[in-house]
Amino acid sequence: MHYDRNWVLAAYRAEHQNRRNPSAQILEEYDQTLFDRYEDQIQKQAEATIPLNLFNRSVLMYFASRADVVAAATQVRHAYEFFRNTQPTP
């Protein structure tokens, strides 16, 4: 998987509230869908103060997937803004 399994599960659950038994294959396909939609923008909009390790990329993906806008670039921009404003900095 491209993202942390728990964050993929959280995104899946938020989007598919009535599906309670997704198979491993469905989750892997969903992870790929999320990766295809968000990863390019996560990388393009990277900020020096936010290391793009697996955990942070997964959090950014989740925040982006919950944004109330349509365009992936805008979703990721909102995710970065929310991340900056809510996560402790070293």
The parent domain of residue 30 ranges over: 5-86
Domain total for the chain?
Answer: 1
**Integer angstrom CA distances of residue 79 from 8, 38, 47:** 15, 11, 12
Q: What is the pLDDT of residues 11-57, one digit of tens each?
A: 999 999 999 999 999 999 999 999 999 999 999 999 998 999 999 99
d(CA 5, CA 16): 16
Three-state DSSP class for residue 49: coil
* Residue 86 clears pLDDT 70, i.e. is over it: yes
Q: What is the pTM of this model?
A: 0.93
